[in-house]
A and B are shown apart, each in its own frame.
Chain A
Amino acid sequence: GQQLNQSPQSMFIQEGEDVSMNCTSSSIFNTWLWYKQDPGEGPVLLIALYKAGELTSNGRLTAQFGITRKDSFLNISASIPSDVGIYFCAGQVGSGNTGKLIFGQGTTLQVKP
């Protein structure tokens, strides 16, 4: 079945540092989404990418949809303590009727003040 490999699994950084995480797949996706999840809560959408090569920013967050449609990365600039959480990439095939998401395993981010 389709799988997403997300890396790194965890990161422990100093406040103010930049962060980069990525997802790769053996399958092609038509949409890539990045979510952030706090403990005990549902995932919150950060960035949605719909076209291969697309580069999109949301404040200090920047994400790109890989040209091959098999990968995506998320960058966070100038990290702050509230960036702490688990970040998930999700791919969507998007063809036909189904819009189900395939999720990566998550990247746990810890920020030291």
Chain B
Amino acid sequence: DTGVSQDPRHKITKRGQNVTFRCDPISEHNRLYWYRQTLGQGPEFLTYFQNEAQLEKSRLLSDRFSAERPKGSFSTLEIQRTEQGDSAMYLCASSSRTGYQETQYFGPGTRLLVL
């Protein structure tokens, strides 16, 4: 399977703990996105990488959140001092751009529950 993969699929943590999620994009894709989805809502953009450069961050991404893509391949999203409001599905998507066309393919997501 050469799709986007995410690990772990589920994470339960206690408030105040740090968590880290990993995303492995489709191998030839140079663009990688993180989104957050809460129950009953569509995904919301968090941040975006082109190769290893983080080019855009949403205002949703507080100082407790940090994302990296050190070698332009996999990416990690870390949440420090988790809060109950961080409970959500965290989705990763990857894409490559051909001319003006770009299609994002999503991974299965990491569901986070903060107790």
Contact = CB atoms under 8 A, between A and B. Distances in A.
Interface residues of B, number: 31
A98 B48 contact: yes
Contacts, number: 72
Contact of B104 (A99, A104, A105): A99
A29 interface: no
A94 B56 CA distance: 13
Interface in A83-106: 88, 90, 92, 94, 97-106
Given A35-B106, A41-B109, A50-B101, A97 B44 contact: no
19 contacts: A33-B103, A35-B106, A42-B106, A42-B109, A45-B103, A50-B100, A90-B42, A99-B48, A99-B97, A99-B104, A100-B58, A101-B45, A101-B93, A101-B104, A102-B45, A103-B42, A105-B41, A106-B40, A106-B42
Given A40-B111, A45-B106, 11 more contacts: A31-B102, A41-B108, A43-B91, A50-B101, A97-B50, A97-B56, A99-B31, A99-B97, A100-B45, A100-B48, A104-B42
